[in-house]
Structure 1
Amino acid sequence: MLFFSLLLTSCLVLTFAEDDLQGYCDAKHQSCNIHLEEDEKYILYDVNPPEGFNLRRDVYMRFAIMMSEAQKHENMKNWKLVLPPWYNLYHWKTVDSSHKPVPWSMFFDMESLRNFAPVVELYEIFPKTKRKHFEINRLYILQNFPDAFENGIFDDKWEIDKDCHYSGSFWGYNNITVKEIDCVKFQGRTSMLLELISLHPSDKYVMFAHGEIPLHDYYGSKSFWDCRKSMKFSKKLIDKARKYMSENLNCIDERCSTYISIHWRRQDFARARRKDVPSIKGTVRQIDKAIKKYHPHILDVFIASDAQNSELEQLENQLNDIGYRVHFYLPSSSDLQEFKDGGIAIIDQIICSHAAFFIGTHESTFTFRIQEEREILGFESNTTFNRFCPDTGKCEQPSKWTIVN
């Protein structure tokens, strides 16, 4: 097809991307001290570009659990999962965060990740190739079926399709090429991707586009929580959050009793989900009610939010007026440079996770990740699974996805 011909032709003329991120190396440099076995094979994936940081963390879990389970079978022991660099995320606004690929080690404890599943960073496999470009043997472009509930039933299934389009950028690297492209309609569990891999046993590097389409195999199970617990944040992010908590919120404990936290999602939610989010006055009223009911001794409120400064000022002023002290983590320019937008968001999440009580935003993945952290820390569910309600109308509290040990 014409699209495939153009794509492959353009891929073959690409050259190396220069990258100055600490911890990166490329195939031109002999100083990359990385040892990879010759018989290893690799699974790569990407996620639909508009999807945010916290949804991508969930997609990682689907693939990591698949790989962890696959390691139990002899013919899959030499397969590894390649972590897609963080690149050009929609919510990341600073230039350094948006336009350079960022490795997972910037945000997560790699040793902990590898204790659960066989994962490697993308830059770690570049030295494997003897060419100037890194060639992916096969790219599967996953697509949804037009009717997920055909005949009223959701079946796990896949089928090879004839036509599709891939708009990915290979995370900003211009040394990545593709040899073969297969279009696949797909619905069902992530482990079914192994069936596709088995079609071409000689492939060494296999990639799946739209990794958000396959579903969890074991959502909420012990395997799910074992994977989630392995996603420990990097030490420097934890240290930064703890320092803030100690200096501003008078807490040095795992489970704090000195403040409550909220995640107040605005921007796109305030526009597109007006029936699910409260006004500023409604937000103040709900914070005040929760504190008086559950923690009447607390006066400190930590807020993580994407709201405009004008909204945050109004919220802070109204809370101040009724006697509360309001706290935000305000990164310095050096913090932004060191931690990137993703790291700043994680620091917010860590601080929210340790609070005595948490109120989140309905159906926000940022809130979901905080709730998971609080489950791991051992908080009572009634301090965790709470949401802001609209000013009027019905308001169902969130489902309680409690930890399984």
Structure 2
Amino acid sequence: MIIKLLFLFLGLIFTNANNEGYCDLKTKTCDHDFFKEKFILYDVNPPEGFNLRRDVYMRFAIMLSDAKKNKNEWKLILPPWYRLYHWRSESKSSPIHWSKFFDIESLKSFAPVVELHEVFSKTEINILNIDRLYVLQNFPDPFEDGEFKDKWEFGEDCDYDGEFWGYNNITFTEIVCVKFQGRISNLWELIALHPSDKFVMFAHGEIPLHDHYGTKTFWDCRKSMKFNKDLIETAKKFMSEHLDCKEEKCTSYVSVHWRRQDFARSRRKDVPSIQGTVKQLDTFIKKNTPNVVNVFIASDGQNSELTQLESQLKSIGYRVHFFVPSMSELDDFKDGGVAIIDQIICSHAAYFIGTFESTFTFRIQEEREILGFDSSTTFNRLCPDSGKCEKPSKWSIVN
């Protein structure tokens, strides 16, 4: 309790020192340009994965990009990557900057974004005090009166269930509970209630919806999400050495996203067995790319499952490939970077087969749309061994 009060006290010193934003207490100087800017932070429900979080980023980035056109001074602070559910090797890791996975300058070309560590660097005392932390909540009945409407109202009795990405030098002045549904641009109505706020944060940033899903603005934002160049180079080296491809659009292999783990347990009606997967892949390849024998597989499956899948595919004449990082690559790229390398390799394949309603598959399909692949080679899915097999939705690029 004493430590928390000390942080709050230092935070007040920090935010009020010269009433001019971030200050260096040793030199008594302030960054006046920084004072002119205001900042939005957001967090996402802790169990949500890497690829859903990428879509949440786009909602906020588009919101800030639209505001910038009207000379709005707000910037978006990129929430560090921390303790994600599927990242097995990093359960106790430090927060990871966006630059580890993405080209930050490319992100900035679309929206006014800044890394959290850049904000901390503006002061030597390294304390960030959030003026207002809005905890967003779903309405209990989103289709009240039979219609889904944009709306929000203040709620009661809520707590922030995040960890501030592992940082213990982030505090807040006030927490506000808000029931919210609808377009993300409606968050500006909340922000406008307190025009003097400099730092505003939204917890459960996955609740607000896109304003421009599928439009040119959506795709402009998506195209700005270029990957870190080291990840791209590693993926292309693998494609060249193992898959005989040095082109943007490869013809020498097909790729598969074979989602297991939680899908295999809770969504058995949507995913095939190992034997069913082998049968479907063989049918896909013989029908669409009969001269291809290389199969690249991206999967979160257990080693025993992957070994069985590989063995059965090899027994009918296919060469199976996985990207297996070295210890040094895993240490450098992290689980998130390895997943991106898998996605890059899948994105360049002659033909892609994904997993139904998986955000990992969605991101690959988007990459392939950006690369210009025909939709027939992209929007394909693995079906359950029996029963219905709903066709995947097609979201074509708008240039």
Query: TM bucket by the smaller chain?
Result: over 0.9
Q: In the alignment, does 2:60 pair up with 1:63?
A: yes
The answer as to 2:231 corresponding to 1:231 is no
Tell me whether 1:89 sits opposite 2:84 in the alignment.
Answer: yes
Note if contact 2:120-2:126 (Cα within 8 Å) is conserved in structure 1: no
Q: CA deviation at 1:162?
A: 2.3
Aligned residue in 1 for 2:158? 164
Counterpart position of 2:113: 119
Question: Taking every aligned residue pair, what percent have the same amino acid on both sides?
Answer: 69
- Does 2:356 correspond to 1:389? no
Matches for 1:25-36 after TM superposition, within 5 Å: none
* Matched-pair contact (CA < 8 Å) for 1:14–1:175: no
Aligned partner of 1:357 among 326, 346, 351: 351
State the AA in 1 paired with 2:80.
Answer: P
Distance in 2 (alpha carbons) for counterparts of 1:249 and 1:369? 22
Matched to 1:394, the amino acid is: K
Q: Supply the distance in 2 between the matched residues of 1:398 and 1:292 (Cα, whole angstroms).
A: 21
TM-aligned CA deviation for residue 11 of structure 1: 5.9
2:254, 2:352 within 8 Å by CA — same for their partners in 1? yes
Q: Residue by residue, what CA displacement relative to the aligned partner does 1:97-119 show, whole Å, maximum 9, x if unpaired? A: 75210000000001100000000
Deviates more, 1:119-128 or 1:360-369: 119-128
Q: In the alignment, is the contact (CA less than 8 A) between 1:164 and 1:183 conserved in 2? A: yes
Alignment check: 8 A CA contact 1:242 1:252 kept: yes
* Distance of aligned partners of 1:344 and 1:98 in 2 relative to their CA distance in 1, 3 Å threshold: farther
Residue type of the alignment partner of 2:362: F
Q: What's the Cα RMSD here? A: 2.2
* Residue 323 (1) aligns with residue 349 (2): no
Aligned to 2:8: 12
**Partner amino acid for 2:382?**
F
Give, as a single letter, the amino acid of the residue that structure 2 aligns with 1:324: Y
Does residue 341 (structure 1) correspond to residue 335 (structure 2)? The answer is yes
Task: Give how far 1:37 is off.
Answer: 2.4
1:134, distance to aligned residue in structure 2 (A): 1.2
Correspondence list, 1:135-284, <5 A: 135-284=129-278
d(CA) in 2 for partners of 1:306 and 1:282? 17
The CA distance in 1 between the partners of 2:154 and 2:44, in whole Å, is 20
Using the TM superposition, name which of 326-335 and 65-74 deviates more.
Answer: 65-74
The C-alpha deviation readout for 1:188-213, integer Å capped at 9, x for no partner, is 00111111100000000000000000
TM-score (norm 1): 0.91
Distance 1:124 1:357 in 2: 41
Q: Which amino acid aligns with 2:87?
A: W
**Structure 2, unaligned runs of 5 or more:** 12-23
Q: 2:287 aligns with which of 282, 293, 300?
A: 293
Other-structure match for 2:127: 133
Cα distance change of structure 1 residues 201 and 137 upon mapping to structure 2, 3 Å threshold: same
Contact 1:44/1:81, CA 8 A, preserved across alignment:
yes
Mapped to 1, the partners of 2:312 and 2:25 lie a distance apart of 58
Distance 2:2 2:205 in 1: 24
Q: Distance in 2 between matches of 1:154 and 1:8?
A: 41
Q: Deviations over 1:277-312 (max 9, x none)?
A: 001111001100011001100000000001111111
Q: Of the candidates 61, 70, 74, which is equivalent to residue 73 of structure 1?
A: 70
2:128–2:170 CA contact under 8 A, matched in 1: yes
Counterpart code for 1:60: Y
Change in CA separation of 1:83 and 1:29 when aligned onto 2, cut-off 3 Å: farther
- Partners of 2:238 and 2:92 lie apart in 1 by 26
* Number of residue pairs the alignment of both structures matches: 385
Q: What's 1:46 paired with?
A: 43
Q: Which runs of 5+ in 1 are unaligned?
A: 16-26
Counterpart of 1:367 in structure 2 is 361
TM-score normalised according to structure 2 size: 0.93
CA distance in 2, matches of 1:280, 1:7: 53
Q: Which letter does structure 1 place at the counterpart of 2:157?
A: D
Report if aligned partners of 2:257, 2:354 keep a CA contact under 8 Å in 1.
Answer: yes
> Would the alpha carbon gap of residues 215 and 98 (structure 1) be closer, same or farther in structure 2, given more than 3 Å must change?
farther
Residue 180 (structure 1) shift: 1.0
